[in-house]
Amino acid sequence: MVWVVACGRAPMEGYRQRPQLPPMFPDYAYITIPCNIAPLNFEIDSVESIEVLVKGEQDWQFTSRGATMRFKERKWREMLEAECGNELIVHVTTRQGNENCGWRSFTWTVSEDRIDNYISYRLIEPAYEVWNELQIIERNVENFDERLLGDNISTDRSCMNCHTSNRAEQPATFMHVRGKRGGTIYSHDGEVRKINTATDHTSGSAVYGEIERGGRYGVFTTADIVPILHLDAHERMEVYDRSSDLIVIDFEEGTVSDNEAVSGAEYQETFPAFAADGRMVYFCRAVSRPQPDSITTMMYSLCAVDFEPQTGRLGDEVRTVIDAESVGRSFSFPKCSPDGRWLMVTVSDYGTFPIWHSETDLWLVDLESGTIDTLPEVNGRYSDSYHSWSSTSRWVTFASKRDDRVYGRAYIAHVDSLGQVSRPFVLPQRDPSRYRTTLKSMNIPELYQQAESYNARSVRKIYFQTEAEQFEYKENQ
């Protein structure tokens, strides 16, 4: 037994020093955190009390009875404000019976880069058995406040997906609500609209997509999507597209247009995203093959096509940015950082639905040099997929199944001006045991600055009482 004194006082009197890091869940050791993040509450099984001493410019002492460390929110905010930009040393000690244990110290780096105030995600069963009980949640990342943006129990149990923001100062967002009374919910300048984006000239309604920063135009996939059970005993499920093309939606004029360069039977195009300046669209493309027999040979390359912000017209020439065959990986979900420097993309062995592929990783492309960082320190054991940038380009969030291969959770990582990505950490919760007890995945995490202008109650009203605006097809001239 030893006595350890820190700045003249002991976190716990007379404790045994252990060489290991504290066995805390979630693991919050050696991470970079925003200066406005909610407390990083954690738990340590089978202990009677926890003390945390954080050493920076000042010393900050926190105590908690029981196996869960819940930091006092006011004191936590005071600490982050006072220590913004500093590296903090964190000492954790625990009491269990007559034994007091001191664990190996670790660090928190408090970044001066603030993270966007809000994150949304979809809560959904992680398997195929139950798909019609899901919710869209909006969470304030500075605290633990949550509210429902959508609950499909109140909308005929129709599917809800893809709540996405353009992260502009005057944000435009969309969310698809399927079903016989559904449509695309488009929110901009305080107005919420329900839109039917299907036309007689295009292959279906809008699916995956993004809105340019001005809010007028959106670029989307139209796709015939099919889920099937996987024949490989090591995999659970596969999702493929029978066909998929790109369309442009003009929310101001109420039109839908396409272009022969990114539509037709020869190729399948999907996952479009605007470049930061709005003059280019990145997307993923594969040569069409019979499905599902050719699933494992479908390799999607990262491609680009010009976009004219004045007219909403897609260009006639498709360029291959990274050829899938040359790197032996299939690309999906390209997302450009708002500052125009980086593009993050998801890679897997094949196909177009990486959330079910355990080998899925994130890569970071430098758009100035073309170099690729495969992010070995960021990617986990299992699927790391759908990602979103903060409005400042200094944070990303992504859905990861690294903890147990089954449940997706929202992880956050810092990206500095040189493109160095920090060790990710899971979105903190008021009660960290929530990750052990909530039997739903958190997928499609999206960061944005302002709270959404609608909620689940207004979505229900729109679903049942508002007729969807019918958009018209427009020739691409």
Residues 202 and 56 in one domain: no
Rounded to whole angstroms, how far apart are CA atoms 307 and 322? 19
Do residues 143 and 97 both lie within one domain? no
Spatial separation of the C-alpha atoms in residues 344 and 136, rounded to whole Å: 24
- 277 and 140 share one domain: yes
Q: pTM to 2 decimals?
A: 0.93
**Does 13 have pLDDT greater than 60?**
no
What's the number of domains the chain is made of?
2
Within 8 A by CB and 6+ apart from 421, the residues are 364, 373, 375, 377, 378, 396, 413, 414, 415
List the single range of 2-16, 25-39, 50-64, 449-463 with lowest mean pLDDT. 2-16
Counting every residue written for the chain, the total comes to 477
Q: What per-residue confidence (pLDDT) applies to 375? A: 97
Q: Are residues 338 and 366 in the same domain?
A: yes
For residue 4, tell me if it sits in a domain.
no
For residue 357, the one-letter residue type is: H
Instruction: Give residue-wise pLDDT tens across range 141-170.
Output: 999 999 999 999 999 988 888 899 998 888
The reply to whether 366 falls in a domain is yes
Residue 412: how many other CB atoms lie within 10 Å: 25
Nearest alpha carbon to residue 244 among 217, 218, 271? 271
Q: Are residues 250 and 210 in the same domain?
A: yes
pLDDT mean over 226-232: 62
- Identify the pLDDT of residue 294: 81
Domain match, 317 and 450 both? yes
- Of 125-134, 308-317, 364-373, least confident by mean pLDDT is 125-134
- 288 lies in some domain: yes
Question: Model confidence over 52-107: pLDDT tens digits?
Answer: 999 999 999 999 999 999 999 999 999 999 999 999 999 999 999 888 999 999 99
Q: What percent of the chain has pLDDT over 70?
A: 93
Can you point out the beta strands (E) in 383-451? 384-389, 395-400, 409-414, 425-426, 441-448
> What mean pLDDT, rounded, does the chain reach?
91
- Give the residue from 69, 86, 111 where a domain finishes: 111
* pLDDT of amino acid 299: 94
Q: Is residue 312 part of a domain?
A: yes
Last residue of a domain, one of 92, 111, 130: 111
Residues 95 and 173 in one domain: no
Site of tokens 């596969």: 238
**Boundary-marking domain end, from 62, 79, 111:** 111
Instruction: Based on the fold, state whether residues 83 and 182 are members of the same structural domain.
Output: no
475 located within any domain:
no
Check whether residue 128 and residue 89 sit in a common domain: no
Average pLDDT over residues 232-242: 67
In the predicted structure, residue 391 carries a pLDDT above the cut 70: yes
One domain, residues 179 and 300 = yes
Lowest mean pLDDT among 176-185, 200-209, 378-387: 200-209
Does one domain contain both 169 and 313?
yes
pLDDT in tens, 270-289: 999 999 999 999 999 999 98
Give the CATH number of the domain where residue 99 resides: 2.60.40
Does residue 431 sit within a domain? yes
User: Within a domain: residue 292?
Assistant: yes
Q: Is residue 1 over pLDDT 60?
A: no
For residue 151, give the CATH number of its domain: 2.120.10.30
Do 125 and 71 belong together in one domain? no
Whether the link from the prior residue into 23 is cis, omega within 30° of 0, is no
Mean pLDDT of all residues in 17-28: 95
Range of the domain at 40: 16-111
CA atoms of 401 and 380, how far apart (whole Å): 8
C-alpha span between 244 and 29 (Å, rounded): 43
Q: Please report the pLDDT score of residue 223 as a whole number.
A: 80
8 Å CB contact between 330 and 347: yes
At 122-131, the pLDDT tens digits run 998 876 555 6
Task: Note whether residue 471 is domain-resident.
Answer: no
CA atoms within 13 A on the CB side of 190: 0
